[in-house]
Structure 1
């Protein structure tokens, strides 16, 4: 039977029409025109007509916005590369601290967010003033390797990261879902940046080898003027691509979270059992205590990454139980680290490093308790996943405030 007649006979059978289309799409399209001419009043065929002949109208306003964002990205990427290279020059002259290199990248990412979603004047003025104050204050500090100065260098990027979150969220900085989107952006940004950086490394290796073939060593020039420029500019490009909902990073991030979380859990369990077996003591071994805190921060980062990529599905799955186990593990590590820090403070006195470690461990411990309670209620079907995400997003400013406190006060109190 002619497929045209089959289409007419099955007008009231959408399942059969769909089956026919999937089986022979080209034949279906050719025969559809005749069926449509014979039944111009059929609503079913009208829907199929739009489906087969639909052409998305060009949205000139959207196209111009994309062109504007692309142009902004290009200009900011070039400025970031140039600024980073200029800052490196002064770092090499030992006129400023190497940590100033963050000002070659983060302000330009913030500028991209501001240009994309123009915030209110109070948010904009806050961003500009805090970036300027941070840069001015940082370069007023003496270039000395004192503990309080080093702590300021270590905490400044954390403060600027939270400040970058303000630029990302803009006028919606109080909304939890927007803060969560910022955390997701960070995960997707890291995945995309790492992927592109690997390609850049391969290009660098190829370039080095090609010039070695002709007896030239351009490594120093290339790293200072090309690699550094590219690394800074690439951060702006990655920001643009992630903000354009690039499918690569968005599709791969949840899978990385699901695969990486159980691997981290198993690895850390084996590591902690080994630590107990060999008798390592964070109360007496300072270096081991530092590594213990490093493990804690890693577990916290992996847990937050997993939570942000878990979505808002009300159904529990194995990933939720793994995340909950990671949180319990992080709490155990943090409790041991806190006890060791308090012991060292009472035994050896107050130092900037011990005080900073105590502060951040207390903050992390409180955050983990909040996340753990939220997760317990979720696993008991008392709340949804939104409560867990709130425990993560609402606590972010606390880390920023602590980082600002250490950065701006420790060099004054402990100089």
Structure 2
């Protein structure tokens, strides 16, 4: 046991000893139970501090005294573990108060970044071939900077981050791509993915080798998306009121909205959403399982319905660009649901109905992936390859490998023959594969296909 963990046990013990209704023997029994739970969680791969948090919360479901302790202390412990890495509650509070001005500075930096190209005569309405590949570069470096500051990232990590974003700038701007080029769209999509994993490096910079920290980043990604959508919806309402109120007095605000409010707000919201996830960890813990349990059965029903319809009609799958993007997005959403539910699941909970539902979701996604692969391979064999089809082929092969092994591991979990930790390790160890492929598409595909 580390000194920090022993200090947390001591705090727990002092709390119980302060309850007059508990005898010393009761305190010892409760502490023994807590230590045993922590040891079991550490054996399945959790860090000691995180295992203590989970064990305290479990005990909170067993008796009123433990529940009260968990309610009073779990939020602080969670923030110590995920956000600040400090055992000093006062220090954590001080760091938290410093987050807001740093976040505002980073959000302003993102907003300024999206306007800088106009100094060189580039505008959103006329230069889509420039703005589409560079979209991620306006906001994600600022989000990564905010997270790296929070984690106290080492200089070597900061150097790697700078190198990755510089490489992204090269991929977005070094190639002579026409506005109607397929590579413009491919580069725009895959640079977002590649640079999001750079954000992930900043997120886990306080513990680069921890699989659990990578899983925390998966949870961060899902929660960031939720907050960003909420901000976007609120921004849409704000935009509508801005247009309506100024139009009512004879002033047209469309130019301000399209040139300033929407682009600056969109990139600044990337940083604000990340800050909200970091600042509202207690809310995050509650949203994750709710979202996965709500959307997993819905997506399972949709995919099973598609497979049944496909079997009855016998029609082929359209493999034009829009259809390929749609199917790939569908499979990515399924993979995201699997990752997200994995991040929210109790590692020691026995398999239940939801795990069986997940197995059905993964198997149905695997079947759809095979169908898409067959169609893409057939079209490439018959008509030759294009950047879109080659990218789709590679992505579906990567997803096929992940989904196939994930299905096997979930099946083993449902049959009680494989531990949940094996599924978690597989998912976190596979994340660099996605990042690597995204960089290949962004950097290699344009010259490989003659900038088509």
Alignment TM class, shorter chain as reference: 0.7 to 0.9
The equivalent residue for 2:106 is 76
Give the Å deviation of 1:393.
Answer: 1.1
Write the distance in 2 (CA, Å) between the matches of 1:59 and 1:283: 57
Other-structure match for 2:122: 90
Counterpart-to-counterpart distance in 2, 1:112 and 1:79: 11
Q: Is the 8 A contact 1:192 1:249 kept in 2?
A: no
Distance 1:154 1:191, change over 3 A: closer
Structure 2 CA distance for aligned equivalents of residues 313 and 371 of structure 1: 18
Is the 8 Å Cα contact of residues 133 and 184 (structure 2) preserved in structure 1? no
SS of the residue aligned with 2:209? coil
Mapped to 1, the partners of 2:132 and 2:381 lie a distance apart of 34
1:110 and 1:167 in contact (8 A); partners too: yes
Q: Counterparts of 2:194 and 2:422 in 1: how far apart (Å)?
A: 25
Question: Is contact 2:135–2:188 with CA below 8 Å preserved after alignment?
Answer: no
Residues 289 and 119 from structure 1, CA distance in 2 versus in 1: closer, same or farther, beyond 3 angstroms? Answer: closer
Distance in 1 between the 2:95 and 2:319 partners? 59
Is the CA contact 1:265–1:326 (under 8 Å) kept in the aligned structure 2? yes
CA distance in 2, matches of 1:200, 1:350: 41
> Where does residue 148 of structure 2 map in the other structure?
114
Asked if 1:261 corresponds to 2:291, the answer is no
Shift of 1:256: 1.4
Shift in Å, 1:226: 1.9
CA separation of 1:237/1:274 partners in 2, compared to 1, >3 Å: closer, same or farther?
same
CA–CA separation in structure 2 for the residues paired with 1:382 and 1:311: 17
Q: Distance in 2 between matches of 1:63 and 1:284?
A: 53
Offset, 1:149: 4.2
Bigger Rg, structure 1 or 2: 1
Query: Is contact 1:159–1:404 with CA below 8 Å preserved after alignment?
Result: yes
| Aligned partner of 1:102 among 125, 133, 136 | 136
Aligned match of 1:297: 332
8 Å CA contact 1:191, 1:253 repeated in 2:
no
In structure 2, the gaps of 5 or more residues are 1-18, 24-64, 77-87
Q: Quote the RMSD (CA, aligned, Å).
A: 2.8
1:21 alignment partner in structure 2: none
Residue of structure 1 equivalent to 2:342: 307
TM-superposed CA distance for 1:285, in Å, is 7.2
- In the alignment, structure 1 residue 357 sits paired with structure 2 residue 387: no
Q: Decide whether aligned partners of structure 1 residues 414 and 288 sit closer, same or farther in structure 2, where only a CA change above 3 A counts.
A: closer
Give TM-score scaled by structure 2 length.
Answer: 0.75
Distance 1:272 1:298 in 2: 17
Q: Give the C-alpha shift of residue 84 in structure 1.
A: 1.9
Task: Determine the C-alpha separation between the residues in 1 that align with 2:190 and 2:159.
Answer: 23
Q: Matched residues in 2 for 1:228 and 1:342: separation? A: 39
Residue 216 (1) aligns with residue 264 (2): no
1:298 is displaced (CA, Å) by: 2.9
Map of 1:321 onto structure 2: 356
1:183, 1:308 within 8 Å by CA — same for their partners in 2?
yes
Alignment map for 1:198-277 (pairs within 5 Å): 198-277=233-312
> Alpha carbons of 1:207 and 1:139: their partners in 2 closer, same or farther (altered >3 Å)?
same
> Is the Cα contact below 8 Å between 1:159 and 1:400 reproduced in 2?
yes
> Does the aligned pair in 2 maintain the 1:307–1:323 contact within 8 Å?
no
Q: Which structure has the higher relative contact order (CA within 8 Å, separation 6+)?
A: 1
Change (3 A) 1:265 1:69: same
Is 1:156–1:404's contact at 8 Å kept on the other side of the alignment? yes
| Alignment partners' CA distance in 2, 1:148 and 1:203 | 35
2:373 equivalent in structure 1:
338
**What is the SS of the residue equivalent to 2:177?**
coil
Determine helix, strand or coil for the equivalent of 1:172.
coil
Alpha-carbon shift at residue 165 of structure 1 (Å): 0.9
Bigger CA drift: 314-323 or 193-202?
193-202
Greater CA drift, 244-253 or 86-95: 86-95
Question: Which of 156, 176, 188 in structure 1 is aligned with 2:211?
Answer: 176
* Aligned residues of 1:189 and 1:249 also touching (Cα < 8 A): no
Residue 326 of structure 1: CA displacement? 0.6
Tell me: CA distance 1:291–1:340, structure 2 relative to 1, closer, same or farther (3 Å).
same
Distance 1:183 1:284 in 2: 30
What is the CA distance between 1:404 and its match in structure 2? 0.8
Pair 1:383–1:275, CA change in 2 (3 A): closer
Gaps of 5+ in 1: 1-9, 15-46
1:195 aligns with 2:227: no
- Bigger shift: residues 252-261 or 287-296: 287-296
